[in-house]
Chain A
């Protein structure tokens, strides 16, 4: 049997949302890896260099998407700093 506030199984809405945000942050690199692996599925011998600028635009597009998602998530999340901050000497 465990006790204490850490072992809560069910949370109110705000706490629940925070946990799902953390899940989203954890999933973000997975999404990144999947999206960045997609070019490997592109057909090999299409002859022309038609993929050159297309690949460039795709990779940078994914990059921007990841940055925007990460910025959005980190804004929504409340990060509780740890107890012993190394603040400026006052």
Chain B
């Protein structure tokens, strides 16, 4: 049998080990090699403070009384964790971005950094946590009493109370030492976190050890255990759907609303990615904690005498089987569960009390700048925090004394949960609904708090303790519709379901209606937009427009709160960023906002805002500023759109310019080529004319020769004239100065004219005409068209190299156009030259044979263009082939353009 003193000694040793662990963690963190403290494992383990003495002892008692219902308390958080993408991720991101220090700070900051809202949330949290802390004290005290009893000494009230008091004092000391080392609540409390992680492992191992002992040691295996469960008097499943669903909701909501859970989930979160791992690891932890609860309850009911407290089965079952070691482990597990919860809960609550109640009151007592310039604020805040820790524990102790310490643990826990979840509507509304306002939130919270106090908290002390039995039965002042457990005359509901239902419905309803009818302040709207759209990096208005404070005053204030090292670091960084030396940067609105956010990490958003406001005396943000910011953002967007459009336009222009430049270059080259060509073409006949005329002038030639030479001179002069005529013609055509003379005539007659004019006499070229040609009547400038025909026929005569040259002329009617093809049976034109032949001075065959300057086809092309058609080389005809395209009625239009 364990002697009571040994139990005390072991507990003290355990506490000493925790002290050492916490101390070493602090040391390692200070030295900067504590990367493992930021691991997802530590994060998950620190979440385990959800499993308090309620879980460790109370769950078994709960299962013994209500069966599987106990599991809802752990299934709710499981649902919340596996659905982390919905709410938790957003909370963590907001907490990081806004440097949130507590759940009260979150609500206050969201609703325009409102001091009063922070106070209301703090009050709710403290009142709701009081029964919970009492629960922990009660369970630790009872577990001590079990050992005392097993030594044959039954504890009375005096001894129980003394134990509860000493446990409280011990907890206050531990928490003050490790929980108020630094003022910045946003920084992690490494010692506490490490101690919690160790305790998380201890309580899990202890509960699993007891469970394994019960299943395999007592029952004899899992299947025997299931048989025993079926045979036990516990009704595991009682079909109370209302309670099942309500409790799932309650525990899920409480998981994010409890101040201590908010502290470890959001405030102490080091990395958003840890959430992804904790999303399954923490539910797994919860599941393991719950796994053996029912077996322990069943075996406890079997083994222990009727009337034993089922809340202590975890401890009494091993004791009754003589397993002292296991009982000791179990005791340490329970002790761990209780202490870790109390430590974190009191830190979270103390932060809230100091930031949202003590400091605002202290500031309001010094209404001028003195408040922030003189007096050691740091000292005040730290002292406030330490006193708050003691006060919160003292309140728990009072609740424990008043409630008598006899209530079932789970019942106390549920009352506490339902108080904490009154914050839920304001919190969820705040992060998802931009229309939520401070007035609505405050009204909802007050309604929720009142209803919770009336329907759940006050009745939890029992009839005739704080509320008399007559009020339970008939309502206050005989108003029966106000009966605490049958509001509005609806009786017969489970008291817990009744309280949760009414408080949540009226709380949410008031919140929504209050928000709909009220109008938010500019700061509220600013904060609302930043909270709701936390994942979009939207343009934010600076909360200050007029910065009239000196940098030095701000530095003094910041030093008083953050300590000189941190404050100077911030100021120096800002000065460097602005390109200045020293510690005093330009006081810009952006810098004030940065400073305010840093201060908020220590004293909360509302207090930081008030302090900065007192010092700089500047005006806060106005509706006009907000609208200006929105306009600015819209303008920037529009401007960037316009820039984009403009740059596309510019690109198009540049491309057009490039094209034009290329064309100009090409034209310039063409012009040069044209000039050199034309000089060459003119020079050749001129040279022969000059030399022959020289000979004739010298008069040394005979009559025959003179005649011949004169003939050459004449021929060359004609050639020159023709060349010049052609050039003139081409130039006129190209410049569009040509006058077209429209006539109507038969194509057949035109061709006759052309053949006659092409000088076919003496040539063996045979012209073949399809019969359709004779039927066609055309309206165009007939003379010009004949010019084209002559050119083509003459070309064929000159270049067709077939033995029996033949030119086939055919006509096709293609709707709006006539196609007139000239195809001979020569060797054709190589593909490379097919485009070139229409250029000026281009000659495919050698020039001497042609006897022309190579202007013919160029002129043809120009004429056809003027006539509204064109001329193309027609490949694939086994000879040289040209196709004329002539519009039937286009001429008028073309003339109009000219």
Contact = CB atoms under 8 A, between A and B. Distances in A.
Interface of A: 1-3, 6, 22, 25-26, 28-30, 32-33, 36-37, 39-40, 42, 44, 49-53, 55-57, 59-60, 63-64, 66-71, 74, 77, 79, 81-82, 84-90
Contacts of A44: 239
Contacts of A57: 226
Interchain residue pairs A-B with the least CB separation, the first 9: A29-B83, A71-B280, A70-B280, A55-B237, A70-B82, A74-B276, A53-B226, A52-B236, A29-B79
Contacts of B35: 88
Contacts of A66: 78-79, 82, 283
B477 interface: no
Nearest to B34: A88
B82 A29 contact: yes
B37 interface: yes
A86 B270 contact: yes
Contact of A51 (B34, B232, B237, B536): B237
Interface in B29-44: 29, 32, 34-35, 37-38
A77 B280 CA distance: 13
22 contacts: A1-B641, A25-B84, A28-B83, A29-B80, A33-B79, A40-B241, A52-B230, A53-B236, A56-B229, A60-B290, A63-B287, A64-B287, A66-B78, A66-B79, A67-B78, A70-B280, A71-B281, A74-B276, A74-B277, A77-B276, A82-B97, A84-B97
A29 to B, nearest CB: 3
B86 A84 contact: no
A63 B226 contact: no
Contacts of B270: 85-87
A6 B79 contact: no
Given A3-B640, A60-B287, A63-B287, A22 B78 contact: no
Nearest to B225: A53
B273 interface: yes
A42 B239 contact: yes
B284 interface: yes
Given A32-B82, A56-B236, A64-B287, 13 more contacts: A42-B239, A52-B230, A52-B236, A53-B230, A55-B237, A56-B294, A66-B79, A67-B280, A79-B275, A84-B97, A85-B271, A86-B269, A86-B270
Interface residues of B, number: 60
B716 interface: no
Contact of B96 (A49, A64, A86): A86
Contacts of A36: 75, 79, 248
B279 interface: yes
Contacts of A81: 271-273
B230 A50 contact: yes
Contacts of B79: 29, 32-33, 36, 66
A58 to B, nearest CB: 9
A59 to B, nearest CB: 6
Q: Which residue among B75, B97, B186, B275 has the maximum number of chain A CB atoms within 10 Å of its CB?
A: B75
A77 B275 CA distance: 12
B539 interface: no
Interface in B233-270: 234-237, 239, 241, 244-245, 248, 269-270
Given A25-B85, A29-B79, A70-B279, A89 B287 contact: no
B31 to A, nearest CB: 10
B301 to A, nearest CB: 13
A13 B192 CA distance: 45
Contacts of B97: 82, 84
Contacts of A22: 85
Contacts of B229: 52-53, 56
A3 B641 contact: yes
A82 B241 contact: no
Contacts of B479: none
Contacts of B675: none
B356 to A, nearest CB: 23
B218 to A, nearest CB: 17
Nearest to B83: A29
Contacts of B271: 81, 85-87
Contacts of A3: 637, 640-641, 644
Interface in B129-171: none
Contacts of B291: 60
Nearest to B285: A67
A39 B237 contact: yes
Interface string B104-127: 000000000000000000000000
B68 interface: yes
A49 B236 CA distance: 9
B820 to A, nearest CB: 55
Nearest to A44: B239
B307 to A, nearest CB: 23
Contacts of A86: 96, 186, 269-271
Contacts of A77: 276
Contacts of A71: 280-281, 284
A39 to B, nearest CB: 6
Interface string B54-89: 000000000000011001000100111111111000
Nearest to A51: B237
Contact of B75 (A50, A53, A63): A63
A89 B272 contact: no
B401 interface: no
A32 B76 CA distance: 10
A55 B34 CA distance: 45
A49 B34 CA distance: 53
A88 B37 contact: yes
A70 B283 contact: yes
A69 B67 CA distance: 27
Nearest to B286: A63
B643 to A, nearest CB: 11
A5 B169 CA distance: 57
A22 B248 CA distance: 23
Nearest to A36: B75
Contacts of B236: 49, 51-53, 55-56
B78 A63 contact: yes
Given A32-B78, A66-B283, A67-B287, A88 B230 contact: no
B93 interface: yes
A52 B234 contact: yes
Contacts of A29: 79-80, 82-83, 86
Contacts of B96: 82, 84, 86
A67 B234 contact: no
Interface string B838-857: 00000000000000000000
A59 B82 contact: no
Nearest to B270: A86
A28 B231 CA distance: 35
A38 to B, nearest CB: 11
Nearest to B298: A52
Contacts of A90: 32
Interface in B527-548: 536
B279 to A, nearest CB: 5
Nearest to B249: A33
Contacts of B290: 60
A82 B93 contact: yes
Nearest to B232: A52
Interface string B185-228: 01000000000000000000000000000000000000000110
Contact of A40 (B29, B230, B239, B294): B239
Nearest to A74: B276
Contacts of A68: 280
A33 B72 CA distance: 11
Contacts of A2: 637
Contacts of A67: 78, 82, 280, 283-284, 287
A6 to B, nearest CB: 7
Interface in B306-325: none
A88 B284 CA distance: 27
Contacts of B230: 49-50, 52-53
Nearest to A52: B236
Contacts of B86: 26, 29
